[in-house]
């Protein structure tokens, strides 16, 4: 019976999971912070989500009309760059 590789054993490049930033964009664009959760950056994801929810409530004061779209776009760009950085750290070309 084969045992899975332990934390100190090297895994081959074929067995690694890539963080494909391109096709995940539609899913990530549904909710700000979701892409960060997918990338394993939960703290950053919560920060984006809370900031977006606060921004949505500020729409009634017209401040959120500017901040909500900016946060949404910033979240998607950050999720994309985070996925590329993860791939680079793990030696995966993307």
In a domain, 60, yes or no: yes
Task: Establish if 67 belongs to a structural domain.
Answer: yes
The structural domain count of the chain equals 1
Q: Would you say residue 21 lies in a domain?
A: no
Domain contains 30: yes
HSE-CB for 87 with a 13 A CA cutoff? 14
Mean pLDDT of 53-64: 88
6 is a domain residue: no
Tell whether 74 is covered by a domain: yes
Would the pLDDT of 13 be above 70?
no
Residue 48 is part of which domain span? Answer: 26-89
- In whole angstroms, give the CA distance from residue 94 to residue 87: 7
How high is the pLDDT of residue 72? 92
Going by C-alpha positions, the residue among 80, 63, 70 that lies closest to residue 23 is 80
């Amino acid at each position: 019976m084969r045992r899975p590789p332990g934390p100190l054993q090297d895994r081959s490049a074929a067995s690694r999971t890539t963080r494909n930033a391109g096709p995940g964009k539609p899913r990530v664009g549904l909710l700000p912070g979701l892409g960060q959760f997918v990338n394993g950056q939960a703290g950053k994801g919560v920060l984006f989500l809370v900031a977006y929810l606060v921004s949505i409530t500020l729409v009634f004061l017209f401040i959120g009309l500017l901040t909500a779209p900016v946060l949404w776009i910033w979240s998607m760009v950050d999720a994309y760059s985070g996925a590329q950085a993860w791939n680079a750290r793990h030696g995966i070309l993307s």
